């Protein structure tokens, strides 16, 4: 970290994305366009079984020294055998340029294409400066010791892969150094307190005071708001939004820094400290300097594990979906929030930048064919107009407007069992009664499409960012804040918060053609738990499993979680009459106890979830691997057996 290196060819990646017998998808970012070929090897005889020129890949120039490589290869690829891949470039073979991404005795990254989803890694919420240890490091170390046939079939990331609204000061400075070194694009703003990205960077409020630049609105929809809240309510409502990402280049740079160690070797994490903690002509306050140094320690710990995290994603097919922090906290939480955000040009641009960066860095790799030519045409125009200020702004706005109307972020992995990944952010069931009442996580049309994916399936895995069946007491707290017209204070969003979406969802589970074994994987909440769920009044009830693991690098505040856990155990047991007063009254929920000491059912540790399914799609093992390297299992309850 003390010696700044020149830019390597590969700035981030490769990340192995969609992997099927007829399609291989990889993502990486490079210093310059890459020339050469992609090669796929059969490890049995070390022979090349597929080769494709890299000129066939989409290579998007997002900066003077930054190109996003969207590598999609179609062919006929063998399943369940040892394969390896190589990028042969103008600077040499990628495996030789990045030997740290290889496991012991590997010449190239070895992987397999699995037609099954029997062994899954899953989780969410990876906050770089949270004190918890990065669980992806432990996942990589475990995979490094496994034989190929014993490795996970895929890694499912269910949201908050970045924290755009909660950025450490040292991370933000690193982001700005990356923007400068890579020559990432400048950006002009309309109806904002700053005219462009250059003015933002030089502004005295650039660090730890961005909340003074971010837009607000007048929320006088209820007397309590007028009494308790200031006249101007922030649109970007995260409590830690003082370093909120704003520009497209900042979003892109953060992805590069959270997924790869390469650029950390090319920047000076001590730059602001070396300049006496001053910016925009203003010195940092002593409390800010102390906060910076605490965050820097956590960021350095995070950087130390990035080799492992990037190596894991280069070997295991990785699928992703957004949640709020990938863009901003409370994203589309209520109709009132949406109106305030999208009627403000500055707010709309910031949110759009997050969505655009998500598409290029996450969304595309899940299912490349989901994205139509019209989107690519708008993207090409956005890229081509980078040096023309007026045309660039219009192209930028046109692309963002298209992404706002896009409704195909969800996708299905056609494995056995089928894995259905839900978009619970952009197709919401908006409240018709009050502007500040939480929206349903999916609207009626999206839920009907979801039901169609389940028809005629005997087993299925569903990925929902928020748990479909959460901790009832915490949901009751969220409902109480909604009744007080303050849903934004505690992120009062869950599947049961909106009557229309809740009842439609429960009708799906009670439908006679519901799969026999129905596994739900979730994150979001910053703790882990496992529930077995049965229909109360049907003998042939399907087996429903709610499995939650969160976060990869985050935890819930203590002792608050312990208090919530104890109260929930006391008043919402399966036999409690209070259950009949909830929307889940048709269901009986059995809460699995983790094999840890004490009586707590909610595990508060950074972790990656591990799920193993039997041939019928029923969990044979539910466990988490913590950031400390401990395995915690959730054995079935006697009542649910």
Angle, vertex CA 44, rays to CA 40 and CA 45, nearest 5: 80
- Same domain membership, residue 455 and residue 401: no
Which whole number is the average pLDDT over 604-611?
A: 97
> What is the Cα–Cα distance from 572 to 585, expressed in whole angstroms?
11
Whether residues 461 and 545 share a domain: the answer is: yes
Q: Does 280 fall in a domain? A: no
Question: What is the structure's pLDDT at 433?
Answer: 65
Both 453 and 562 in a single domain?
A: yes
* Same domain assignment for residues 491 and 599: yes
Residue 596, CA distances (Å) to 450, 473, 557 in order:
36, 22, 19
Q: Are residues 613 and 471 in the same domain?
A: yes
Identify whether the C-beta of residue 88 lies closer than 8 Å to the C-beta of residue 48: no
| Pair 521, 547: CB distance under 8 Å | yes
Query: What mean pLDDT is predicted for residues 255-277?
Result: 95
pLDDT at 1: 43
CA distance 178 to 184: 8
pLDDT confidence tier of residue 470, bands split at 50, 70 and 90:
confident
**Does 490 map to a domain?**
yes
Digit-coded pLDDT (tens) for 59-107: 999 999 999 999 999 999 999 999 999 999 999 999 999 999 999 999 9
For residues 134-156, average pLDDT: 98
Model pTM score: 0.94
**Full 3-state SS string of 371-429:** CCHHHHHHHHHHHHCCCCHHHHHHHHHHHHHHHHHCCCCCEEECCECEEEECCCCCCCE
Q: What pLDDT does residue 543 have? A: 92
Residue 312 belongs to some domain of the structure: no
Do 597 and 484 fall into the same domain? yes
Q: What is the mean pLDDT of residues 552-570?
A: 89
Domain identity same for 438 and 494: yes
Angle at CA of residue 584, ends 578 and 590, nearest 5°: 80
Q: For tokens 């395995």, what's the residue?
A: 631
Structural contact between residues 20 and 73, judged by C-beta atoms closer than 8 angstroms = no
For residue 382, what are the domain limits?
372-407
Indicate whether 23 belongs to any domain. no
Structure tokens at 356: 């655009």
The confidence score (pLDDT) of residue 82 equals: 97
Report the first-to-last Cα separation within the chain, whole angstroms.
Answer: 53
Considering the chain, what is the average pLDDT of its residues? 91
Q: Residue holding tokens 């069931």?
A: 429
Q: Give the count of domains, the chain.
A: 2
In a domain, 525, yes or no: yes
In a domain, 193, yes or no: no
Task: Decide if 637 contacts 593 (C-beta within 8 A).
Answer: yes
Q: Tens digit of pLDDT for each residue in 425-462?
A: 999 998 776 777 888 899 999 999 999 999 889 999 99
Tens of pLDDT, residue by residue over 530-548, are: 999 988 767 778 899 999 9
- The confidence score (pLDDT) of residue 2 equals 45
- The confidence score (pLDDT) of residue 502 equals 85
Check if the beta carbon of residue 107 is closer than 8 Å to that of residue 60: no
351 pLDDT higher than 90: yes
Is 60 inside any structural domain? no
389 and 512 fall within a common domain: no
Strand partners, 27: 15, 70
**Sequence-separated (6 or more) residues with CB below 8 Å from residue 506:** 583, 584, 586, 587
pLDDT at residue 641, as a whole number: 55
216-241: pLDDT as tens digits = 887 655 555 556 555 578 888 777 88
Do 418 and 393 fall into the same domain?
A: no
Predicted local distance difference test score (pLDDT) of residue 492 = 55
Task: State whether 389 and 528 are in the same domain.
Answer: no
Q: Is residue 578 part of a domain?
A: yes
- Mean pLDDT of all residues in 503-510: 87
**Residues 431 and 443 both lie in one domain:** yes
Output the pLDDT for position 222.
Answer: 55
- For the segment 268-321, what is each residue's pLDDT rounded down to a tens digit? 999 999 989 998 888 999 999 999 999 999 999 999 999 999 999 999 999 999
Q: In angstroms, what CA-CA distances link 582 with 146, 172, 479, 571, 579? A: 44, 44, 11, 12, 5
| Cis peptide preceding 317, ω within 30 of 0 | no
Model confidence at 574: pLDDT above 70: no
Whether 403 and 458 share a structural domain: no
């Amino acid at each position: 970290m003390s010696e700044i290196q020149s830019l390597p060819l590969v700035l981030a990646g490769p990340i192995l994305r969609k992997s099927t017998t007829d399609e291989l998808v990889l993502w990486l970012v490079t210093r310059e366009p890459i020339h050469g070929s992609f090669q796929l090897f059969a490890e049995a005889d070390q022979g090349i079984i597929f080769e494709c020129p890299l000129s066939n890949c989409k290579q998007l120039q997002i900066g003077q020294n930054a190109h996003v490589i969207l590598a999609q290869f179609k062919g006929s690829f063998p399943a369940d055998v040892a394969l390896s891949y190589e990028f042969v470039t103008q600077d040499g073979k990628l495996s030789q340029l990045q030997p740290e991404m290889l496991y012991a005795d590997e010449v190239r990254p070895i992987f397999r294409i699995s037609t099954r989803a029997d062994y899954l890694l899953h989780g969410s919420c990876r906050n770089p400066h949270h004190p918890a240890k990065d669980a992806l490091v432990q996942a990589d170390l475990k995979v490094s010791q496994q034989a190929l046939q014993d490795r996970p079939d895929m890694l499912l990331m269910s949201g908050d892969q970045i924290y755009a609204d909660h950025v450490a000061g040292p991370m933000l400075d690193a982001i700005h150094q990356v923007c400068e070194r890579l020559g990432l694009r400048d950006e002009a703003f309309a109806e904002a307190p700053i005219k462009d990205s250059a003015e933002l960077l030089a502004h005295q409020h650039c660090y730890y005071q961005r909340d003074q630049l971010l837009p607000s609105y007048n929320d006088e929809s209820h007397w309590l708001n007028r009494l308790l809240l200031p006249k101007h309510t922030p649109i970007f409502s995260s409590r830690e939004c003082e370093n909120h990402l704003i520009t497209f280049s900042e979003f892109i740079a953060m992805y590069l820094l959270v997924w790869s160690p390469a650029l950390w070797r090319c920047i000076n994490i001590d730059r602001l400290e070396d300049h006496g903690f001053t910016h925009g002509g203003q010195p940092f306050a002593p409390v800010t300097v102390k906060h910076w140094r605490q965050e820097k320690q956590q960021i350095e710990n995070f950087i130390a594990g990035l080799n492992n995290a990037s190596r894991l994603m280069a070997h295991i097919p990785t699928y992703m979906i957004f949640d709020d922090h990938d863009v901003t906290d409370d994203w589309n939480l209520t109709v009132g929030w949406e109106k305030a955000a999208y009627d403000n040009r500055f707010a709309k641009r910031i949110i759009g930048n997050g969505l655009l960066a998500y598409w290029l860095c996450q969304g595309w790799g899940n299912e490349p064919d989901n994205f139509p030519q019209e989107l690519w045409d708008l993207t090409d125009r956005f890229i081509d107009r980078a040096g023309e200020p007026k045309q660039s702004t219009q192209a930028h706005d046109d692309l963002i407007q298209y992404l706002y109307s896009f409704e195909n972020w969800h996708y299905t992995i056609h494995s056995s069992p089928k894995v259905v990944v839900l978009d619970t952010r952009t197709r919401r069931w908006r409240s018709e009664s009050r502007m500040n009442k939480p929206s349903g996580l999916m609207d009626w049309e999206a839920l009907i499409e979801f039901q169609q994916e389940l028809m005629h399936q005997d087993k299925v895995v569903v990925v929902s960012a928020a748990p479909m069946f959460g901790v009832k007491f915490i949901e009751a707290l969220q409902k109480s804040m909604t009744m007080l017209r303050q849903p934004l204070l505690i992120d009062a969003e869950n599947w049961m918060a909106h009557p229309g979406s809740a009842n439609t969802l429960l009708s799906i589970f009670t439908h006679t053609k519901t799969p026999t074994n129905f596994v739900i994987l979730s994150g979001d909440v910053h703790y882990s738990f496992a529930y077995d769920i049965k229909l109360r009044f049907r003998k042939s009830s399907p087996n429903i499993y709610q499995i939650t693991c969160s976060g990869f690098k985050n935890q819930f505040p203590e002792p608050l979680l312990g208090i919530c856990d104890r109260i929930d155990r006391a008043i919402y047991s399966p036999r409690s009459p209070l259950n009949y007063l909830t929307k889940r009254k048709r269901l009986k929920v059995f809460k699995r106890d983790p094999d840890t000491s004490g009586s707590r059912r909610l595990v508060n540790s950074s972790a990656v979830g591990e799920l193993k399914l039997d041939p019928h799609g029923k969990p044979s093992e539910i466990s988490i691997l913590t950031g400390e390297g401990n395995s915690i299992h959730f054995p079935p309850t006697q009542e649910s057996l």
